Structure 1
Amino acid sequence: MRSFDLNLARVFVLLYETGSVTATADTLHLTQPTVSYSLAKLRRHFGDELFRRTGRGLTPTAGARRLYEPLQRALAEIDGAVRQSDAFDPETMPGRFTLALSDLGEATLLPRLLAAARVRAPRVSFTVRALDVEEAENQLGRGDLDAFVATPVLTSHRTVRIPLFGERYVAMVAADHPRVRGDAVTLEQLAAEHHATVYGPSGHVVPREVLATYGLLDRVAVDATRFSMLPYLLEQTDLIAIVPEFVGEVFTASRRLRLVRLPFETEPIEVALYARHESSRSPSQRWLVRFMADVLGERVSPAQLPPSTGR
């Protein structure tokens, strides 16, 4: 170990988590040739290729996977020992964070996040990008995002998944829908009605999968890309849509809409926060992850949401 530079361990862990020489260099404030030189030294030291280049970046070998946990844990302990002198104070320090949210997240989670930030972190601001579940992990690894919120379970060694709250699906219709009455809808009614569905990069695939399971895709009258258009569409038509319950509660609190139970159980979903591993986060990013998990990690009723007026 006397011949092993501890800085090489940090380069290794970041390469493992980001899969990118560029992102590692940016995080460590090094040049890309310096990171490549460090990788060459790591390969000689361990006698292993460690990473192979693929279309998705650097992919770790079996040897790298064995090394990652002990090296990451050691660095985390070292970082923890010195973190108090390297802290982010949200009350006095400015910070701008880039988040990726679906349109549902923008409508239901972003107001809570901003309301809390105005009180706890008055000098913090946010840039919000449209969530693309296919690209979000790569964007996180490259440093283009600080965090993102998604419902699909994404399993990658490059990110940490932090569950926030659970959801189930319900049906949503106009308050004065001419045929769907009461607090539940039958399978026969679902088959007789026409549907509005959402299919896009935000990852909510369950509604269309449910319709496909029961052979009802031919009853889809409109297939859009954003859930936020549903309240306007359903208010003025007799269409029916399957939506996450919390989102439906937010929509029905301000629009002429009703929620009704489905005649079957759908696969439960879990809204989760995704971020880089703690050892790869800056002090401000560590604060951000704790803040988002605290503010968003509790399912609240629409009555508890902050007003939609801007600040």
Structure 2
Amino acid sequence: MHISRVDLNLFTVFEAIYTEGSVTRASQKLNLTQPAISHALGRLRQMFDDPLFVRQGHAMVSTPLARSLIEPVRRSLRGLEVTLNAARSFDPATTAKTFHLALRDVLEATILPPLLRRVQESAPAVDIAAITVDRRELVGELAAGTLDAAIDVLLPLPNDVMRTRIYQDSTVVVVRKGHPDIDGGIDLDTYMKQDHILASSRRRGPGLEDFELSRFGLERHIRLRCQHYFAACRVVSQSDMLLTMPGRYARIANREFGNQILPFPLEVPAFDVFLYWHANVDADPANAWFREQVMASVRERLSDESSLPDAPSDRSRPRSRSRARARPA
């Protein structure tokens, strides 16, 4: 079938139904009536000779053909949108737009304050929505344009998701001041004897630090699993449990608690944090501007951190009561 005989608006409806899983929500998203959406779906079914979506309860479940079509349709729609946007200049001083940035809550406190300050100064009509996206959905969201960019650790993503490293971070251990076994440093033997907190949005599964420990046949005791590092830092300040977390956020989250921030007692490499975006918006003026604001905000934050004195516990080596070596024999 030649493209001249196809109504391209049908694919916008197809993508909306697939994303929303509902004709009602698709109509709300596109600001169309439900009969209009249903009519478009009927034309799509006739075009592909396939139901595309089958109602199960209140949801519209996609058929195998629909699942095979969604990614190329999303790429094509996003490509058309970028082409149209590139045809008109993006003026941050006057353009009204909302940018959607995916990042973990651990990064919000470090990146959002300088980012929002920069955007407010140069783009008064630009809004930012910081959201959490399941990593399994990240590629599809970037390709569809429902997500403008993402910040995360190194992920195994396809080549059409572009990336640049924006900073490195280290792993630290958070301990309350006055801990009976730990004062100014911690070695591996002492670390393993303590009870631990694991902060994770997942219901089950180990943390990154547990993978490092498992390489040496070690398994720590997780007494508490919670969702957010800030809450975990408060629990640390009122208990003898230990929390292992990224160093930059540890320095922010513990300002009101006064906990010790100590080096992780295994020699693990610093981990990289990346900014991700899709190739189909690489040349988009609006997306390029937003990426530059994110990277400039990170540079500003790193500059601010470098001007602050290091915490004494970061400079010192282990002085805990146990003298076990940092690496097991």
Once residues 52 and 273 of structure 1 are traced to their aligned partners in structure 2, the CA distance between those partners, rounded to angstroms, is: 34
Name the TM-score, length of structure 2 as normaliser. Answer: 0.62
Calculate the aligned-residue CA RMSD, in Å.
5.1
Query: How far off its partner does 1:242 sit?
Result: 0.8
Q: Evaluate the alpha carbon distance shift between residue 52 and residue 224 of structure 1 in structure 2; reply closer, same or farther with a 3 A threshold.
A: same
**1:74-97, CA deviations, whole angstroms, 9 ceiling, x for partnerless residues?**
444433432245665331245566
Query: How far off its partner does 1:112 sit?
Result: 2.5
Query: How far off its partner does 1:198 sit?
Result: 2.4
Q: Partner amino acid for 1:197?
A: L
Contact 2:196–2:243 (CA under 8 A) maintained in structure 1: yes
Query: How far off its partner does 1:241 sit?
Result: 0.9
Contact 2:176–2:238 (CA under 8 A) maintained in structure 1: yes
Other-structure match for 1:258: 261
Q: Partner amino acid for 2:53?
A: F
Contact 1:184–1:260 (CA under 8 A) maintained in structure 2: yes
Determine if the alignment matches structure 1 residue 216 to structure 2 residue 217: no
Once residues 16 and 133 of structure 1 are traced to their aligned partners in structure 2, the CA distance between those partners, rounded to angstroms, is: 17
Q: Partner amino acid for 2:197?
A: A
Other-structure match for 1:28: 30
Name the SS of the counterpart of 1:109 in structure 2: helix
Q: Evaluate the alpha carbon distance shift between residue 132 and residue 47 of structure 1 in structure 2; reply closer, same or farther with a 3 A threshold.
A: closer
Query: How far off its partner does 1:191 sit?
Result: 2.1
Q: Partner amino acid for 1:63?
A: L
Other-structure match for 1:108: 110
Other-structure match for 1:79: 81
Once residues 71 and 162 of structure 1 are traced to their aligned partners in structure 2, the CA distance between those partners, rounded to angstroms, is: 23
Query: How far off its partner does 1:52 sit?
Result: 4.0
Once residues 177 and 107 of structure 1 are traced to their aligned partners in structure 2, the CA distance between those partners, rounded to angstroms, is: 27
Contact 2:114–2:300 (CA under 8 A) maintained in structure 1: no
Q: Evaluate the alpha carbon distance shift between residue 266 and residue 180 of structure 1 in structure 2; reply closer, same or farther with a 3 A threshold.
A: farther
Once residues 51 and 202 of structure 1 are traced to their aligned partners in structure 2, the CA distance between those partners, rounded to angstroms, is: 31
Name the TM-score, length of structure 1 as normaliser. Answer: 0.65
Once residues 305 and 237 of structure 1 are traced to their aligned partners in structure 2, the CA distance between those partners, rounded to angstroms, is: 31
Query: How far off its partner does 1:45 sit?
Result: 0.8
Provide structure 2 residue ranges, at least 5 long, that are not aligned to the other structure: 309-329
Once residues 70 and 134 of structure 1 are traced to their aligned partners in structure 2, the CA distance between those partners, rounded to angstroms, is: 20
Query: How far off its partner does 1:190 sit?
Result: 1.7
Once residues 44 and 264 of structure 1 are traced to their aligned partners in structure 2, the CA distance between those partners, rounded to angstroms, is: 61
Q: Evaluate the alpha carbon distance shift between residue 237 and residue 84 of structure 1 in structure 2; reply closer, same or farther with a 3 A threshold.
A: same
Query: How far off its partner does 1:258 sit?
Result: 2.0
Q: Partner amino acid for 2:221?
A: L
Q: Evaluate the alpha carbon distance shift between residue 109 and residue 52 of structure 1 in structure 2; reply closer, same or farther with a 3 A threshold.
A: farther
Determine if the alignment matches structure 1 residue 90 to structure 2 residue 120: no
Percent identity, aligned pairs only, is 23
Name the SS of the counterpart of 1:197 in structure 2: strand
**1:69-122, CA deviations, whole angstroms, 9 ceiling, x for partnerless residues?**
554444444334322456653312455667676542332222132122123323
Provide structure 1 residue ranges, at least 5 long, that are not aligned to the other structure: none
Determine if the alignment matches structure 1 residue 120 to structure 2 residue 128: no
Name the SS of the counterpart of 2:5 in structure 1: coil
Contact 1:164–1:298 (CA under 8 A) maintained in structure 2: no
Name the SS of the counterpart of 2:198 in structure 1: strand
Determine if the alignment matches structure 1 residue 193 to structure 2 residue 194: yes
Contact 1:91–1:123 (CA under 8 A) maintained in structure 2: yes
Once residues 277 and 53 of structure 2 are traced to their aligned partners in structure 1, the CA distance between those partners, rounded to angstroms, is: 23
Query: How far off its partner does 1:56 sit?
Result: 10
Bigger-Rg structure (1/2)? 2
Q: Partner amino acid for 2:123?
A: A
Aligned length: 292
Once residues 54 and 215 of structure 1 are traced to their aligned partners in structure 2, the CA distance between those partners, rounded to angstroms, is: 44
Matches within 5 A, 1:58-73: 58-73=60-75
